[in-house]
Structure 1
Amino acid sequence: MNSLFKYEFMKIAKKRMNIVVVLVSLCLTLFLFILPVKSYISLEKDGSQLNGLAAIQLEKEYSQELAGTLTEERVTKDIAAYQALFSNPEQVIKDGNQVLLKDDMYARYVLPYFSYYKLIDDAFLEPQVTDNGLTVLRDMKLGDTADFYQARADKVKNYMDIDFSDWKYSAQEKAFWHAKNSQVETPYVYGYHAGWKSLFQCFELLIVSIIAICICIAPVFAGEYQTGADSVILSTRYGKSKLIKAKIGAAFLFALLIFTVNLLLAAGIQLAAFGTGGWNLPLQILNVTIPYAFSLLEAALICLAVLYSVLIGMVSITLWLSAKLKTAFVVLVIDVLIILLPVFLGLSGSNGVLNHILMLFPYMAVQPAFPAEYTSYFSYPFPGLTVDIITMRIVLYVVICVVSLPFIGRAFKRHQVQ
């Protein structure tokens, strides 16, 4: 069995086309994950622009000024300081009914800390409303305290009560999400976290390496049909037993190794450039309403679990198609359609059922479920049980893998030799 496994693995790994595909995928990973580093922009307080590593270093300095616990007292004080910028007539200009800071004042006192102010501002916004101008912070009336965390709780409740055309949250789902939110610890701790934020934004790019892996393993069975080797294999002593297991095992090992190399390259580039600072900070500093009680590192590890589950699911589907179909090309066409179907159909604002299906397809599944309200609170209600989207994705692709394995061998054994 060991010799068969080794032979099948080397057969995949040494194939010239596969070597080219793997090298191309590594080059694309290198390019796609270096690009956010090279294009990273930060502005100095005099308005001059820095790019790349210099901009990242400047961002660290700004974040260090803000590092600390977001108590109600601190949030209230910071909102008051922001509003005070508008009280000096020499620092503002009027644009119709709007009072805006002059460019130099904005560049000096707001822009370097915009992400921090935006985090606070978002808690006071109505659900599904954006405010890139921080007008809520500017216009809100402060009492003894800003009630930052109460505003966050009210926003979550209001989001749960929205009627999204043909679907809405059931009482069961509301109870589920409120229970999750109760586990989120407050007050939050703020600090530098640019590396993890960038990583979450880039995780979906690893779908390229999954597609590359599917290209490499598509001919595992279909290639034998095309060359006519199936007639020889199926007539040998182990052609319908050990050899099939060796082919499946070799394909999975190849996929896991290649994907891990791509992943290490991707994460290594990002974290080497941005640093690992902020790994223990709460996930809520990315979006104040996120209901998961994870640190940034824990959230990243969960994203990896989803990525690997999608990988093994797609490998299983590819091997089953390879065993069923006569050509690797048709296998790849179906794989690409499965992976990219949400791109072609798009998410609907009114069809909740369709969205719940599309969110489980590979292209959507590799995108982190944390940053936005829409994905953070995406769930699948069953009688007596509500499953969040992260768990649903992992379970679905693991089940696909487990269920597919017996059918792969069966399809190859039942193949009619021409």
Structure 2
Amino acid sequence: MRLFFLEMKRILSSRITQVLMALAILLSAVLAWLPVTYCYSTYTNAQGQEVTLTGLESVAFEKNLQVAAAGEVAPEKVKAAVEHYQACLRSYGVTESYDLPPGVYEREIMPVSPLLHGVKEAFADPETGMAPSIMEIDPDRLDSWYEICEQRIASLMAMEQPGSQAAQKTAMDMYRSVPKPFQVWPGMNTASLDYQNMLGFLMLLFCVVLAAPSFAAGYQSGADDIFRSTRYGRKQLAIVRIGASMCLSSLWFLGCSVVYLVTANSLFGWECVQTSLQMMYSIVSLPGWSIGQLQVFFAGAATLSVLASVSLTMFVSARCRSALSALAVSLLLCLLPTVAVMTMPGQLSTWLATLLPAGGTGIQASFLYAVTDFQFLTAGELAIWTPWAMLAAWVLEIPLFAWLAIRAYDRHQPG
């Protein structure tokens, strides 16, 4: 344990560690605040003047306007919202809400807009996926709102996974277990979760930057020759260094996640975390989580992704002979899931983004985006939802790459 604490002290006493840790805490608060600055609302006052609200004023304005829509999303509330929308547009002789006179949308439609989320999507054509306008929807059909949503997930999965009955069945089973009726608490938007993902990616890079020189720097400077001549200079030192890096990375990541979530949820309002995932993303999203649960699940999953990436970085460091080459290879591996999603076709990109350690917090590929998507890894009659496959991969990769790093360091031959 003494070696472990000495290693932790060595890492924490480094100037680069102190700078990155301070920067990470600052970024956690700044990134939590940024989505609020993009909130924008306009309304026409009693004098006929257009008033523009931004930031927290906009959030408060919309939450106050939509207070009647908050709570359970009962079928009768969705039906009433659609009927109100249709009656409003007919009274002005238009077919689209953007054709309404100034101020009408904010006064008439915005109060019920949370309940209209996903209505067009649920009635999309099962063959083409094209959604109708709300004016084309028969409100009486909304008495069976949740049955219509189940029909939509069936048709969507038939389009997304046409060659896998197992994936279609798994998706249907998952959706049937989602708690209903849904909950909606206006205020928060998807940008808050996108920025949480961005924070995770930046933290991943920071942790990799700190871990990359762990072994390679000693090879390069020659200090490793001295370490190897000591009593605990081979396997024991490798275990201590890997354990210290992973412990610091996990505590650091979770600490920044707490700062982010406390700041973001305090700004938007803690009641917003009760909103069902389906009421912020697709109406037929598969997991039965609230937004608050998604935030926590993502923080935990991203921590595993970071630990798997740090473990892989330690293996790379044990194999490279210079700190620069170890850092370059490690950063390339961090970017590889995003590159794979952008450049590789179909299932190949899905498999790579799922199995690579850095796939949990990428810009284009991440646990967050996998949760809100409908991708499955399929092999014959086997179908695994990609977020579960990601978690399983990282749990296996953490000890695997750690063991490979210990083995590589123990067998390293100075040269």
TM-score (norm 1): 0.87
Using the alignment, how far apart are the partners of 2:98 and 2:38 within structure 1? 32
Matched with 1:59 is: 62
Using the alignment, how far apart are the partners of 2:162 and 2:95 within structure 1? 42
Is the aligned partner of 1:184 residue 2:187? no
Q: Which of 392, 398, 403 does residue 400 from structure 2 map onto?
A: 403
TM alignment of 1:8-47, pairs within 5 A: 8-44=7-43, 46=45, 47=50
- Which SS does the other structure have where 1:160 is aligned? helix
Q: Which of 187, 194, 206 does residue 188 from structure 2 map onto?
A: 194
Q: CA deviation at 1:324?
A: 0.8
Matched with 1:297 is: 292
Amino acid corresponding to residue 233 of structure 2 in structure 1: G
- Contact 1:222–1:327 (Cα < 8 Å) also in 2: yes
Q: CA deviation at 1:334?
A: 1.7
TM alignment of 1:145-156, pairs within 5 A: 145-156=142-153
Matched with 1:139 is: 136
Q: CA deviation at 1:253?
A: 1.6
Q: CA deviation at 1:84?
A: 0.3
Using the alignment, how far apart are the partners of 1:171 and 1:84 within structure 2? 42
Aligned CA distance change for structure 1 residues 335 and 62 (closer, same or farther; 3 Å): farther
Using the alignment, how far apart are the partners of 2:345 and 2:248 within structure 1? 41
Matched with 1:261 is: 255
Q: Which of 307, 310, 320 does residue 305 from structure 2 map onto?
A: 310
Matched with 1:379 is: 376
- Contact 1:83–1:137 (Cα < 8 Å) also in 2: yes
- Contact 1:198–1:270 (Cα < 8 Å) also in 2: no
Amino acid corresponding to residue 180 of structure 1 in structure 2: M
Using the alignment, how far apart are the partners of 1:182 and 1:250 within structure 2? 43
Deviations 1:273-331 (A, max 9, x none): 11211333432212210121223322222212211110110010011111111112222
Using the alignment, how far apart are the partners of 1:53 and 1:68 within structure 2? 21
Amino acid corresponding to residue 249 of structure 2 in structure 1: A
Using the alignment, how far apart are the partners of 2:184 and 2:106 within structure 1? 22
Q: Which of 202, 218, 223 does residue 229 from structure 1 map onto?
A: 223
Amino acid corresponding to residue 155 of structure 2 in structure 1: N
In proportion to residue count, which structure has more helix?
A: 2
Using the alignment, how far apart are the partners of 1:265 and 1:27 within structure 2? 9
Matched with 1:4 is: 3
Higher RCO (C-alpha under 8 Å, 6+ residues apart)? 1
Using the alignment, how far apart are the partners of 1:145 and 1:245 within structure 2? 60
TM alignment of 1:19-418, pairs within 5 A: 19-44=18-43, 46=45, 47-88=50-91, 91-92=92-93, 100-111=99-110, 113-126=112-125, 136-143=133-140, 145-162=142-159, 168-192=162-186, 194=188, 197-205=190-198, 206-286=200-280, 287-347=282-342, 351-361=346-356, 362=358, 363=362, 364-371=365-372, 375=373, 377-382=374-379, 384-418=381-415
Deviations 1:367-417 (A, max 9, x none): 34334xxx1x21113455432111111111111111112211111111112
Deviations 1:144-166 (A, max 9, x none): 6453223212211111221x6xx
CA RMSD of aligned residues (A): 2.6
- Contact 1:279–1:297 (Cα < 8 Å) also in 2: yes
- Contact 2:117–2:283 (Cα < 8 Å) also in 1: no
Using the alignment, how far apart are the partners of 2:85 and 2:380 within structure 1? 48
Q: Single out whichever of 335-344 and 261-270 deviates more from structure 2.
A: 335-344
Q: CA deviation at 1:342?
A: 4.0
- Contact 2:43–2:103 (Cα < 8 Å) also in 1: no
Aligned CA distance change for structure 1 residues 310 and 45 (closer, same or farther; 3 Å): farther
- Which SS does the other structure have where 2:41 is aligned? strand
- Contact 1:45–1:109 (Cα < 8 Å) also in 2: no
Aligned CA distance change for structure 1 residues 100 and 52 (closer, same or farther; 3 Å): closer
- Contact 1:160–1:169 (Cα < 8 Å) also in 2: no
Q: CA deviation at 1:25?
A: 3.1
Q: CA deviation at 1:63?
A: 3.2
Segments of 5+ residues of structure 2 without an aligned counterpart are none
Using the alignment, how far apart are the partners of 2:142 and 2:368 within structure 1? 37
Aligned residues: 402
- Which SS does the other structure have where 2:117 is aligned? helix
Aligned CA distance change for structure 1 residues 84 and 101 (closer, same or farther; 3 Å): same
- Contact 2:254–2:303 (Cα < 8 Å) also in 1: no
- Contact 2:214–2:317 (Cα < 8 Å) also in 1: yes
Q: Single out whichever of 102-111 and 288-297 deviates more from structure 2.
A: 102-111
Aligned CA distance change for structure 1 residues 221 and 343 (closer, same or farther; 3 Å): same
Segments of 5+ residues of structure 1 without an aligned counterpart are none
Aligned CA distance change for structure 1 residues 265 and 58 (closer, same or farther; 3 Å): same
Using the alignment, how far apart are the partners of 1:137 and 1:401 within structure 2? 49
Q: CA deviation at 1:105?
A: 1.6
Q: CA deviation at 1:86?
A: 2.0
Q: CA deviation at 1:51?
A: 1.3
Deviations 1:40-80 (A, max 9, x none): 22334645221111112123213322123333222222211
Amino acid corresponding to residue 82 of structure 1 in structure 2: Y
Q: Single out whichever of 198-207 and 21-30 deviates more from structure 2.
A: 21-30
Aligned CA distance change for structure 1 residues 349 and 71 (closer, same or farther; 3 Å): farther
- Contact 2:367–2:387 (Cα < 8 Å) also in 1: no
